[in-house]
Amino acid sequence: MHAVALVTMNRVKRRNKTVCEVVYEPRQFSWTSSATGDMIDNIKAVRKAVANVMTNSVSDFTKGATHYHANYVNPYWADDMQRTVVVGKHIFYRKQRR
């Protein structure tokens, strides 16, 4: 959950948008889409992770990741990104440095 919160905040910084603009941007996060039916299982843990990231209590162990996906899918954009870290079943990425 910390990694997802870090990705969200990295997008906020990179895109110069608000948290709400990033989170509710169409087709960005499956957990905000009512069409997928995804639900957050542990809201207390989510709130704690968000609070930790928002107060800089957690360093960015994702190394600037702005994207992620589960290891059982292969999104079209993954080949154009630099893999930064794997956390559980999720792979995190940022734009490739040139």
Q: Which is nearest to 87 in space by CA: 64, 73, 71?
A: 71
Residue pair 5/53 in contact by the 8 Å Cβ criterion? yes
Residues 20-60 have pLDDT tens digits of: 898 888 877 777 765 544 556 677 887 888 899 989 999 99
Residues 13-26 have pLDDT tens digits of: 998 999 889 888 88
Quote the strand ranges of 3-97, DSSP E: 67-70, 81-87, 90-95
How far apart, in whole angstroms, are the C-alpha atoms of residue 68 and residue 55? 22
Global pTM value:
0.83
How far apart, in whole angstroms, are the C-alpha atoms of residue 72 and residue 15? 28
Instruction: State the first-to-last Cα distance of the chain, in angstroms, to the nearest integer.
Output: 29
